[in-house]
Amino acid sequence: MSVTTMSSDLETVSLPDRAPLLHWMIFTGLCAFAGVLLWQYGLIRLMVASDRTYISSLICVLYLASSLHCLWRTLAIAREADASRSAALVLARPGSDVAPLSWRDALPPGLVSDHIRNLVVKAETQASGRVDQTLLLRSLADRLRGSNGFGAFASDTLMKLGLLGTIIGFIIMLAPIAGLDATDRTMMKSSMGLMSDGMAIAMYTTLAGLVGSILLKVQYYMLDAATARVFSQAVTLTETRVVPALERVHER
């Protein structure tokens, strides 16, 4: 490999990875634009006014809170991606594989760097033999995922709240039928109004729950994909550079 090609690769590695945050911002911007349109046409105000149970409003609040959590996790994964690329840059320096024990001080802070330090400690402890990082990789995967599982819980909760609103709406809609008198026009009119309110509650809560659940799933899918990329980079880096260097040191 030529010096120019190696320099270009190192510059590419050192570039910050803003793709996860950029994807989240694009998706959230489109959702916000759709929300503004719905507000301008009065559909959101109509949903809030028609839902006397306020379940639709609760779904919207939970969706916003979950989106902020996804943003926080996306920023964390973006930082870990940058730290992983910086660690790769450190390990790519000439002569770094000759003295792997010095990596502990040279590596930037981050989960991938902590994993490499753990590998160095393991290699020092066992003193000989192959460095098996299977268990450490499982620990790294769990630490990288962090609280990403909250996305599945939040999405499922929004769906369940929508179904709860559906049940409550149907109860409100069917309650006046028991005492309905077909000869009393005033009672018929009042019952039809209650039935209409119950149907509105059922439909709006179901719609809010379904839409919120789907949008959250998309956000956390992008977050999980970014997390998997960081983990894949860590596996490639350690299997191609760290583990062979540690095994060479102990064979000497």
Q: How confident is the chain (252 residues) per 10-residue block, as mean pLDDT? A: 42 55 91 92 88 91 95 92 86 64 75 87 76 87 92 94 91 72 62 76 92 95 92 89 77 60
pLDDT score at 62: 95
Single pTM value for the model = 0.82
Asked whether 201 and 51 are in contact (CB, 8 A), the reply is: yes
Nearest residue to 122 (alpha-carbon basis) of 114, 133, 112: 133
pLDDT score at 242: 83
pLDDT score at 100: 61
Q: Render the burial of 92-129: b for 16+ CB within 10 Å, e for the rest.
A: beeeebeebeebeeebeebbbbbbbeebbeebeeeeee
Nearest residue to 164 (alpha-carbon basis) of 6, 247, 49, 58: 58
pLDDT score at 108: 83
pLDDT score at 127: 66
pLDDT score at 1: 40
